[in-house]
């Protein structure tokens, strides 16, 4: 991973060292970031559909997966937000999900912007 790419991620709040540690090496980390950038919009659309439908069972499944991916790749704040939504959906707490959804979407957009810019650097 070039210093330019590493610095870009760090400047955008990504814990690169944690991500590399979680994925074994820089090459694997880079590949997983690119894969995540490619699948992220699909997963976001899914959890949005589940939220709109009030389907907390499937919402929980998708936010759990996104939480894990974010944490693994060093997007720790985003991972924590997904975790809070996971806990709420496990409790069928639609109010929490609705009340905090815009915050999550704002964060998701930031992450996606980072991922797209990172992908373009390759």
How far apart are the C-alpha atoms of 51 and 63, rounded to whole Å? Answer: 11
How far apart are the C-alpha atoms of 41 and 95, rounded to whole Å? Answer: 24
**pTM: predicted TM-score of the whole model, two decimal places:** 0.93
Domain count, the chain: 1
Structure tokens at 74: 């060093």
Report angle CA 4, 34, 115 to the nearest 5 degrees: 65
How far apart are the C-alpha atoms of 80 and 30, rounded to whole Å? Answer: 22
How far apart are the C-alpha atoms of 93 and 71, rounded to whole Å? Answer: 23
Give me the CATH number covering residue 9: 1.20.120
Q: What percent of the chain has pLDDT over 90?
A: 95
Looking at the predicted structure, is the pLDDT value of residue 24 above 90?
yes
| pLDDT number for residue 1 | 80
pLDDT tens track for 58-82: 999 999 999 999 999 999 999 999 9
Question: Which structural domain range is residue 109 located in?
Answer: 3-121
Query: 85: helix, coil or strand?
Result: helix
Instruction: State the chain's mean pLDDT as an integer.
Output: 95
């Amino acid at each position: 991973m070039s210093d330019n790419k590493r610095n870009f991620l760090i400047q955008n709040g990504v814990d690169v060292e944690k991500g590399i540690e979680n994925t074994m090496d820089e090459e694997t980390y880079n590949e997983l970031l690119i894969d995540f950038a490619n699948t992220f919009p699909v997963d976001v659309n899914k959890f949005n559909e589940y939220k709109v439908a009030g389907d907390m069972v499937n919402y929980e499944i998708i936010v759990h997966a996104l939480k894990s991916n974010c944490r693994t790749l060093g997007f720790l704040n985003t991972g924590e937000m997904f975790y809070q939504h996971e806990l709420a959906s496990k409790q069928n707490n639609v109010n929490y999900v609705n009340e905090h959804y815009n915050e999550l979407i704002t964060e998701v957009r930031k992450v996606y912007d980072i991922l797209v810019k990172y992908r373009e650097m390759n």
